[in-house]
Structure 1
């Protein structure tokens, strides 16, 4: 009797293994997007109300107002690398939920705040929640994304952040007109709880193979110099968020009600349309172009001191800021070890937070000493410096393959 021999089973190719790993780690993108949106809708609601609230209730000086707004970035910057590392270790859902809890506690602090010290503590809690929630969510999503689509996935998921920051001031304005500051702070408290419910309803993915943390686990190789460039370009957005409304108000320029909305529209359109272009252009060139556009918008704000110039400069700045994030994701994640990509994302966004925090302090001080226009001139110069550092990084790492080229080769070899 002849025994039929089974054909040998071929071992999976590296491309097949990578595709199977991505399928196993695929994230519930819609629910995570909505959870992150709720967190940033909460944070964005504070941007419209907090400057005048702090100035009127606590009689704070402009530099104090800017510091209170910007200090949330300190806690976010500290928490992000730890959140990314937790995702690398296989705990994304728990980390998202923890971030939502921090955010809700921060909202309660805004609602209660009898003095500046309590308000600062609430800002720190809200920043910690925002940093933990978003970093763990985007790191979870990036784990299941193809390399050749990295920038567009990051850019479109990042719209949860900027959509919340953009819609938050509008929501705060409506709530303030309805019930005053207390309604705004109640929403700031409840929105992170909605994000927590969305995160709890998700299923934790299979844990990745264990990796030794190593001395660079929280600051992965390849994230430091690009992170510095990202920090410098974040200063411009920090100036927009901390002193723009005060500038338009105190200089009697007008446009204060529309300025943040104009920034948001320009940002969201550019991010949605431009993110796929970053994958085709490459991370470093796209980042340099975006930083140059941001600098041009900030200079228009500084030099064209009427309502038309203010709104035009705000729109151009928003268009430049829109593509900084997907471009830098393409640069940093493409140069980080597989087991440290979550931490690399956390470090990258921490540099952004640090830039906003520093901007909060320095922009207010510069505005008080030299005038508001000089805050925007300084921001434009730092954006140019960030672009220059990125070009130097490109030259120093010319031998390293860009993520798009290597990824497209892998994609072609992968089974359809």
Structure 2
């Protein structure tokens, strides 16, 4: 194994410039570097999926709280992720991707402990709900730190020319973790109780740290100047709003599909989560080149039309099978919206501002998930759980209208 050494100046914790050494191994392949990171991403998002599978039922049935409380509990994590995007980016730039991602992992471990404490204090619903809310905030901060660090770390290790592959595989690992985590937690709760679910959350956090512990950190670039979010939000607002409205359908499935199945007495909702995740992943694997090949605008519009079909199927589903088909179609439609609109967002800024543009673009996704849960909870309380998916379909229609209107002011392709 051959090695080359590059000496660079970096800022230490006090702000002084110190000499650091980056070891570059010439025969380190893409997959040798990226697989440990992808394993960690899968593990962390598995913890997120597992909480989505059991928290709605725990809050509603064990803590005797209503649909609005369920929506707040689910949405709070995304709001915490949104509000810490800027901090996570700054920490990653100044301390390195490894530092940021590992901090996020350890925070996920602490979150698992707090979830566990909430189950042990369920005899006091108010205290347990407070612990759950605190846990959701920490889980959101954990996600923000981890995913920002992991993406930056992975791209830095394999090179900017492979950034597309890094983002693609990170996205697959993220949604695979969510898709597998929800049914896994439902099964585990049935077999061993809800405490076992949160013990596994703690264990997964440790495994994610171990998977990446031997990868080298990258020295921070002292010449990198971070551009504030507000300077690029205006440029990518059209794509960001389109993403935000399209993400509501996903939020409705993750927050309320289990409660819909319970209210209809359709049995275990695991297949609904799995079908959404499988169709989402397979669409990305086989059609990820479509935004570049056919244009992000065209792909986004077609994807939104497909997602509307999926949401309406769930909203009017007369049976469990039709609802599962609706989840599958929603997964197909939602899969390419993020990269399709992301291609358009990146094209509107200079290359040196792409990171900031992607951060601002992702913030629209966080905001959508944070607000969709409580709004959908209100709708479910006023009407029923199927009405939530009519809301999801209407949101996708608004996304289409947003893209049609804002396209007139630009040269989207």
**TM-score class normalised by the smaller sequence:** 0.7 to 0.9
Counterpart of 2:218 in 1: which secondary structure? coil
Shift in Å, 1:38:
1.0
Deviations 1:99-128 (A, max 9, x none): 112211111110111310111000110111
Q: Could you say which residue in structure 2 is the equivalent of 1:271? A: 284
Q: Could you say which residue in structure 2 is the equivalent of 1:31? A: 36
Which has the larger displacement, 386-395 or 350-359? Answer: 386-395
Q: Does 1:360 align with 2:373?
A: yes
Q: Does 1:329 align with 2:342?
A: yes
Counterpart of 2:84 in 1: which secondary structure? helix
Q: Could you say which residue in structure 2 is the equivalent of 1:146? A: 161
Matches within 5 A, 1:138-217: 138-142=151-155, 144-146=159-161, 150=164, 153-208=166-221, 210-216=223-229
TM norm structure 1? 0.82
Q: Could you say which residue in structure 1 is the equivalent of 2:11? A: none
Measure the CA separation in 1 of the matches of 2:332 and 2:326: 10
Measure the CA separation in 2 of the matches of 1:155 and 1:269: 12
Shift in Å, 1:209:
6.0
Shift in Å, 1:259:
1.3
Shift in Å, 1:183:
0.9
Q: Could you say which residue in structure 2 is the equivalent of 1:286? A: 299
Measure the CA separation in 2 of the matches of 1:381 and 1:88: 39
**Segments of 4+ moved more than 6 angstroms:** none
Shift in Å, 1:221:
5.7
Shift in Å, 1:180:
1.0
Measure the CA separation in 2 of the matches of 1:195 and 1:371: 39
Task: Select which of 56, 60, 66 maps to 2:61.
Answer: 56
Q: Does 1:385 align with 2:398?
A: yes
Measure the CA separation in 2 of the matches of 1:322 and 1:255: 24
Deviations 1:357-389 (A, max 9, x none): 211101111011022222111111111211232
Q: Which segments of 5 or more consecutive residues in structure 1 lack a partner in the other structure?
A: 1-22, 403-416
Q: Does 1:228 align with 2:241?
A: yes
Shift in Å, 1:170:
3.1
Bigger RCO (CA 8 Å, 6+ sep): 1
Q: Could you say which residue in structure 2 is the equivalent of 1:110? A: 115
Deviations 1:244-267 (A, max 9, x none): 111121123456242111212211
Counterpart of 1:222 in 2: which secondary structure? helix
Which structure: greater strand fraction? 2
Alignment RMSD (CA, Å): 2.6
Distance 1:202 1:318, change over 3 A: same
Matches within 5 A, 1:10-29: 28-29=33-34
Q: Which segments of 5 or more consecutive residues in structure 2 lack a partner in the other structure?
A: 1-25, 122-127
Counterpart of 1:396 in 2: which secondary structure? coil
Deviations 1:46-89 (A, max 9, x none): 11111112222211112212221221111111122332344455
Q: Does 1:131 align with 2:174?
A: no
Shift in Å, 1:90:
6.7
Measure the CA separation in 2 of the matches of 1:156 and 1:280: 19
